[in-house]
Chains A and B, each alone.
Chain A
Amino acid sequence: MTTTAIETSVDSSRALHSVARKTKIVGSALVGPALILVVAINVLPAFYGFYLSLRQVFFFADEGYVGLQNYVDLFRDPFAWQAIGRSLVFTFGSLAIAVPLALVSAMGIRRLGNWGSILLTVLLVPWAMSPIVVALLWKWILVPSPGGLVGAIFAASGVPPQDLLTDPVLAMPTLILIGVWRNFAFAAIILTGGLGQIPRDLYKAAAVDGLGAWEAFRKITLPLLAPSLLIVISMLTISYFNEVQTIIGLTGGGPIRQTTTLGYLLYHTGFVELDQGRGNAIAIVMFMINMLLIALYIKILGKQPGAAA
């Protein structure tokens, strides 16, 4: 190699380094403000919440360091375990209905073309509504007397009023259905996008190979939809597991704690009982469970062939 060639190589290497450094600076400058905001709004309060979970805080008065006592008390409380169980029932009960419904809707919407887009926009309205407005709306719909919509339908059918939100057996299924109603269209939008990413040629090839509709769905659609499904399931899990506003508005955690999820227990402990130390301990536990579930999804769905797409 001649001296000139070596010099040229060194020069171009320096130039590349310089470009890389500049790119890093520009990138940092662009991401920096957002990062500072995330740290200020999410990370610092999370650390402060953890700090408070190690202290006895009642009605805004810090009564001192208690170590892990708030966690010990929480895990010794049978109602807390029941709340974790109900959170999982609410989360997976809602997911079990919302995700298939969203998938069917997404496929239907793609077939309907422009009309499908209009339908999706209409279905998206509940998702865009404030949860507390959703609660008030459904409370009116479910009033167990002729003044309520469902009550009127029951009355017209000769069925006596049903206490859907105050019956210990019916309250949780009713909440799940309202949760599905509120969120499935959002999931459908993401899945519609995901379906659009799947090359149509694959279906043509499958048809040539003699694959039926069900097999094509199972062997092409589902695997290639895995990334979208991962997003949908993760987001809905977080949304359902942390749901609290509609529960406050619709059932107040009752009847007989039947809808007291961990999210509602957090609200009740921190904002009604004003035991803010223990409330923060519940928040940390909720965060850990959320992370655990998402890690589980990534492990399961991440193995699908389309996950790398």
Chain B
Amino acid sequence: MSIGKLDRRTVLKLGAASALLPALSGIALAQGQSGTIRIWTFLSAEGQSPREVVLRELIEKFTAANPGVSVVVEAQPFQELETKFVAASAQNRAPDIIWMRDTFLDLVNQRGALANLDDELSAGFQSDVIPDLYPVFAEKSVMDGVRTSLPLWPSPAQILFYRKDALAEIGLDAPPLTWEEFIPVAGKLTSGDRLGFGLPTNDNSVSAFINMMTGFGPGIFDAATGQFDVTGPEAVETANVVRQLVAAGALSSTLLNAMGDDIQDQFAAGRFAIVQAFAPRFAQYKSIAAAYDPNDLAVSAWPAFGDRPPAVLLGPYWTVGVSAKSENKAAATAFVEALYTPEASMQWAEVAGLVPDRRSVQSDPFFSTPEAESIAVFNALLDAPGALTFPPKLPDITKVFPIMNTALQELIGTDEDVGAILERAKATLGW
């Protein structure tokens, strides 16, 4: 065959090859990935906190393995992530990847803003990685049979941080785990300018009152509606405990609208002996300790009511999803998968002191070292019999925390009848 004269079979072969070429190049791109991925998270890619350091390293590693991909982190205030994401999705300018709280999953799903990850995640990830995640978190990310997000940083969420040195002053190693015993101890811990107990009472996504109520176990949430009985006997008993904590001098009646960050800063400055805190911030609390030895920082479950096991409310926690309108779902999903490699899990644990997402990596010798002591404690809390999550569809999620926080402020700062305060909270919620 001469070059100048092609036979019909050769022409057909070339035609078939040219038709296949785009498909083949598509496969190559899918393996290597390309384009820009925009991520909305509360972390900054330039930040210096342990979690920000790890995120930056994971991005560098991902872009080194996928040189065609550019990852852009657009940090957002954490309280606004879900709202901004849904608004941006409606305007077709949503980021490809979104960090969001599990409590908002139902609302965001209702707006159709998240991609179905069952269609996007690789077969290997679905068969090997998802079963390796903590089932309690992994299962809660499936709504109406569809997985739209993956849980990140399994943690006991809002638990108690305490100073061992303060407890030692009254001859204790750890806070008591029933409210009956906890109240007088917290009162005794109030000494000079230091308060025995500090609660954030003004965050829009956290309610110390609900955390305290979980001392009655998961039965406080109605299985059908997801609501809890705001004026029921459990709520009244919880309210009475709050009043007793004030009477014992453990809670200050003039410290009423502190936010989580305020509690953190004041704890570091030595104002509290025990506080409610977000578990993934443990390493940060250690690093900013000013009024005590960081090694004296420890964690505890919440006290329970009666003979129930100590309470651990697993939420709100962070989940990661891909936008339904992402034009680069393949690359975005590949990046999400990169957050869950065994190496990534080790980095989250070693640098940021977080419980690894992949349970299998916990056989690593690191987890037997003193540096991993807090992770072992968190792990024990995750497996504790009193551990529970919020219902998948907690109603009025945008109102319930602020309203219960105002009720808590009223319980701490006024002498008004407990029943009247709870009735008002119930009426405001419309439950």
Docked complex Cα distance between A166 and B201 (Å): 10
On chain A, the residues within 8 Å of B87 by CB distance are: 60
On chain B, the residues within 8 Å of A257 by CB distance are: 406
Query: Could you tell me which residues of chain A, from 258 to 288, have a CB within 8 Å of some CB in chain B?
Result: 268, 271-275
At the interface, yes or no: A11 with Cβ under 8 Å from chain B?
A: no
Query: Could you tell me which residues of chain B, from 388 to 431, have a CB within 8 Å of some CB in chain A?
Result: 398-399, 402, 405-406, 409-410, 413-414, 428
Cβ of B309 to closest chain A Cβ, rounded Å: 33
On chain A, the residues within 8 Å of B254 by CB distance are: 163, 166-168, 170
Contact (A147, B86) CB under 8 Å given A254-B256, A272-B402? no
Cβ of A14 to closest chain B Cβ, rounded Å: 55
Docked complex Cα distance between A169 and B428 (Å): 24
Closest partner residue, chain B, to A270 (CB atom)? B83
On chain B, the residues within 8 Å of A6 by CB distance are: none
**A147 touching B256, Cβ below 8 Å:** no
Give the contacting residue for B265; candidates A146, A147, A170; CB below 8 A.
A147
Give the contacting residue for A254; candidates B110, B265, B290, B406; CB below 8 A.
B406
At the interface, yes or no: B103 with Cβ under 8 Å from chain A?
A: no
At the interface, yes or no: A84 with Cβ under 8 Å from chain B?
A: no
On chain B, the residues within 8 Å of A59 by CB distance are: 83, 86, 107, 111, 398
On chain A, the residues within 8 Å of B269 by CB distance are: 143, 145-147
B116-127 interface bits toward A, Cβ cutoff 8 Å, 1 = contact, 0 = none? 000000000000
On chain A, the residues within 8 Å of B201 by CB distance are: 254
Contact (A167, B265) CB under 8 Å given A60-B87, A254-B406, A272-B398? no
On chain A, the residues within 8 Å of B290 by CB distance are: 147
Query: Could you tell me which residues of chain B, from 55 to 92, have a CB within 8 Å of some CB in chain A?
Result: 79-80, 83, 86-87, 90
On chain A, the residues within 8 Å of B204 by CB distance are: 272
Closest partner residue, chain A, to B268 (CB atom)? A147
Query: Could you tell me which residues of chain A, from 121 to 159, have a CB within 8 Å of some CB in chain B?
Result: 139, 143-147, 155
**A143 touching B265, Cβ below 8 Å:** yes
At the interface, yes or no: B271 with Cβ under 8 Å from chain A?
A: yes
On chain B, the residues within 8 Å of A255 by CB distance are: 202, 256-257, 409, 413
Docked complex Cα distance between A251 and B87 (Å): 27
**B270 touching A145, Cβ below 8 Å:** yes
Give the contacting residue for B257; candidates A143, A254, A275; CB below 8 A.
A254
Closest partner residue, chain A, to B403 (CB atom)? A273
At the interface, yes or no: B252 with Cβ under 8 Å from chain A?
A: yes
Contact (A273, B398) CB under 8 Å given A60-B90, A60-B111, A256-B406? yes
On chain A, the residues within 8 Å of B107 by CB distance are: 59
Cβ of B117 to closest chain A Cβ, rounded Å: 22
**A163 touching B270, Cβ below 8 Å:** no
Query: Could you tell me which residues of chain A, from 31 to 67, have a CB within 8 Å of some CB in chain B?
Result: 59-61
Cβ of B424 to closest chain A Cβ, rounded Å: 10
Docked complex Cα distance between A165 and B409 (Å): 13
Contact (A252, B406) CB under 8 Å given A145-B193, A165-B257? no
Give the contacting residue for A274; candidates B83, B90, B266, B270; CB below 8 A.
B83
Query: Could you tell me which residues of chain B, from 87 to 116, have a CB within 8 Å of some CB in chain A?
Result: 87, 90, 107, 110-111
At the interface, yes or no: B259 with Cβ under 8 Å from chain A?
A: yes
**B266 touching A144, Cβ below 8 Å:** yes
Contact (A254, B409) CB under 8 Å given A59-B107, A59-B111, A143-B265? yes
On chain B, the residues within 8 Å of A79 by CB distance are: 428
At the interface, yes or no: A108 with Cβ under 8 Å from chain B?
A: no
At the interface, yes or no: B361 with Cβ under 8 Å from chain A?
A: no
Closest partner residue, chain B, to A168 (CB atom)? B413
Docked complex Cα distance between A255 and B408 (Å): 10
At the interface, yes or no: B258 with Cβ under 8 Å from chain A?
A: yes
At the interface, yes or no: A306 with Cβ under 8 Å from chain B?
A: no
Contact (A168, B256) CB under 8 Å given A160-B193, A272-B398? yes
Docked complex Cα distance between A162 and B430 (Å): 36
Docked complex Cα distance between A265 and B217 (Å): 34
On chain B, the residues within 8 Å of A61 by CB distance are: 110-111
Give the contacting residue for A60; candidates B86, B398, B410, B414; CB below 8 A.
B86
Query: Could you tell me which residues of chain A, from 166 to 210, have a CB within 8 Å of some CB in chain B?
Result: 166-168, 170-171
At the interface, yes or no: A223 with Cβ under 8 Å from chain B?
A: no
B318-332 interface bits toward A, Cβ cutoff 8 Å, 1 = contact, 0 = none? 000000000000000
At the interface, yes or no: A161 with Cβ under 8 Å from chain B?
A: yes
At the interface, yes or no: B17 with Cβ under 8 Å from chain A?
A: no
Give the contacting residue for A256; candidates B83, B90, B410; CB below 8 A.
B410
At the interface, yes or no: B24 with Cβ under 8 Å from chain A?
A: no
Docked complex Cα distance between A144 and B265 (Å): 11
On chain B, the residues within 8 Å of A251 by CB distance are: 202, 257
At the interface, yes or no: B14 with Cβ under 8 Å from chain A?
A: no
At the interface, yes or no: B143 with Cβ under 8 Å from chain A?
A: no
Query: Could you tell me which residues of chain B, from 259 to 306, have a CB within 8 Å of some CB in chain A?
Result: 259, 262, 265-266, 268-271, 290
On chain B, the residues within 8 Å of A167 by CB distance are: 254, 256
Residue of A251, A254, A274 with highest tally of chain B CB at under 10 A: A254
On chain B, the residues within 8 Å of A163 by CB distance are: 252, 254-256
Closest partner residue, chain B, to A272 (CB atom)? B204
**B413 touching A256, Cβ below 8 Å:** yes
Closest partner residue, chain B, to A275 (CB atom)? B398
**Cβ contacts A to B, 11 pairs, < 8 Å:** A60-B87, A139-B262, A144-B271, A166-B256, A166-B258, A168-B256, A168-B413, A255-B202, A271-B80, A272-B79, A273-B399
Closest 6 CB pairs of A and B: A254-B257, A255-B256, A147-B269, A167-B254, A255-B257, A163-B254
Given A165-B257, A166-B254, A268-B402, 8 new contacts (CB under 8 A): A59-B398, A143-B269, A144-B255, A147-B269, A168-B254, A256-B257, A257-B406, A275-B398
Q: Taking beta carbons and an 8 Å cutoff, which residues of B are in contact with A?
A: 79-80, 83, 86-87, 90, 107, 110-111, 193, 201-202, 204, 252, 254-259, 262, 265-266, 268-271, 290, 398-399, 402, 405-406, 409-410, 413-414, 428
